[in-house]
Amino acid sequence: MNTFRDFKRYAEQVADTARWAARMGWAPATSTNYSVRLPDEAAPAICAITMSGIEKERLYADSVLAVDGDGLPMNGNLLRPSAETLLHLMLYRRKNVGAVLHTHSMAAAMLSRSAEVTGHLSFSGWELLKGLDGIDRHDCDVRLPIFPNSQDMAQLAAHIEPRLLDTEACYGFLLAGHGLYVWGKTLTDAKRHLEVFEYLLQCERAVGHHG
């Protein structure tokens, strides 16, 4: 599929990222999904995203497709986009989101469940917080909102979207018992944010403040 000239390059970046996340242990049992925003010349395509239900260890560029603003594959592509495409598109409606990464690590699943009633996880005092865009000290307070999980992605996106608007310095959120979404201005930023949060989730889980 050639949505535009450079599509393969974007598809390869997405596939590399998916294999990396799988190697890190964040993508069990064909779960998780990854995307990058496509440039304006690819319109009406919005992003390049991984297809549904494939082992991420074996995911290459031919399993990445372009979708439009409704989450439909471009150019009659027969690949089925990730079931969670609507959440990626919700994030691409925000400014400064160039890549969206979604993982299912055990730490994210466990902590998001035990802290669901609180509605967020709070991170403070960790040096690695400085890996987040715009943060240059460890003694700040970074919140990761937690939303209830659902199998209805349209309903989930409608629930989450208005609640993210007022959180300017927001880098991600958790779905309870499910996993982590992070984003960044670029794919490099998003990958760094993912590493920061996965690391901090493991720290918090080891510390054991969350039940």
Where does this chain bind Zn ion (CB under 5 A)?
A: 179
Closer residue to Zn ion (CB): 52 or 135: 52
Q: How far apart are CA 24 and CA 148, in angstroms?
A: 25
CA atoms lying within 13 Å on the CB side of residue 127 = 0
Nearest distance, CB of residue 181 and Zn ion, angstroms: 8
Give the type of residue at 68: D
Nearest distance, CB of residue 153 and Zn ion, angstroms: 10
- Nearest CA to 193 out of 134, 116, 110 is that of 134
Q: Which residue is nearest to Zn ion (CB)?
A: 179
Nearest distance, CB of residue 64 and Zn ion, angstroms: 17
Helix ranges, the chain (H):
7-23, 85-92, 106-114, 153-164, 187-207
Closer residue to Zn ion (CB): 101 or 115: 101
Closer residue to Zn ion (CB): 71 or 179: 179
For the stretch 105-123, what's the b/e string if a residue is b when 16 or more beta carbons lie within 10 angstroms of its beta carbon?
bebbbbbbbbbbeeebbeb
Closer residue to Zn ion (CB): 180 or 200: 180
Nearest distance, CB of residue 105 and Zn ion, angstroms: 11
